[in-house]
Amino acid sequence: TQLLEQSPQFLSIQEGENLTVYCNSSSVFSSLQWYRQEPGEGPVLLVTVVTGGEVKKLKRLTFQFGDARKDSSLHITAAQPGDTGLYLCAGRGSGSRLTFGEGTQLTVNP
Amino acid sequence: EAQVTQNPRYLITVTGKKLTVTCSQNMNHEYMSWYRQDPGLGLRQIYYSMNVEVTDKGDVPEGYKVSRKEKRNFPLILESPSPNQTSLYFCASSRALGEKLFFGSGTQLSVL
């Protein structure tokens, strides 16, 4: 079974601060996805990274896939209250099976 | 509007009373899947379906059944629910395996 560990599990910051969320595994993934989930809703796909070392930007969010395709990070610059939510990483491994991390609950206080 | 619709949103039941959670998608997607979400455990796949009449077990299939008689519908059946099946359930679909997943809004199930 391929496991994905996210850290930190909880993060509470002030508006305007920067933060980084990590997603780590001992397994290699063909691609890695990041989702955001808001209360009462299902996860929504933010980005998919495919190539080792790949960096993708989505406004104030920067996603990076590790060179060895075993880990990923999500960096948010100048966080806003609207960024509050549960951030989930998910790796696609053998047989195209998608494995989810436990999630990082982010709270951005005004 | 393209969406995945689950019903009901909330359900409280008692041990042993059969229940069905419905899932329907209007995007003509071939792939559909059920997940359960528990604190500290993330999303775990219960069952998935590659196409009509094709279903397979995910990581935690025990105590669940599914069927895929039509492309748009993928109901989750709990024949004899137990308290350890209390969880938040999500249905998801995609055009094909490996493509972008679209999730429903979830069903919060409590088994007393």
The token pair at B32 is 């559909």
Give percent of chain B above pLDDT 70: 100
Binned at pLDDT 50, 70 and 90, residue A2 comes out as: low
Q: Output the pLDDT for position A96.
A: 75
Which of A1, A12, A8, A3 minimizes the C-alpha distance to A74?
A: A8
How much is the average pLDDT of A5-33? Answer: 95
Contacts of A107 (CB under 8 A, 6+ apart): A10, A11, A12, A13, A84
| Cβ-based interface (< 8 Å): residues of A facing B | 1, 4, 9, 40-45, 48, 88, 90, 92, 96-98, 100-103
Unique residue bearing structure tokens 């494995």: A99
Instruction: Say whether pLDDT at B83 is over 90.
Output: yes
What residues of A are in contact with residue B98 (Cβ under 8 Å)?
92, 96
Cα separations (Å) of A84 from A65, A101, A106, B83?
23, 18, 5, 31
The token pair at B1 is 């509007």
Task: Tell me if chain A has a CB within 8 Å of the CB of B59.
Answer: yes
Q: Output the pLDDT for position A44.
A: 96
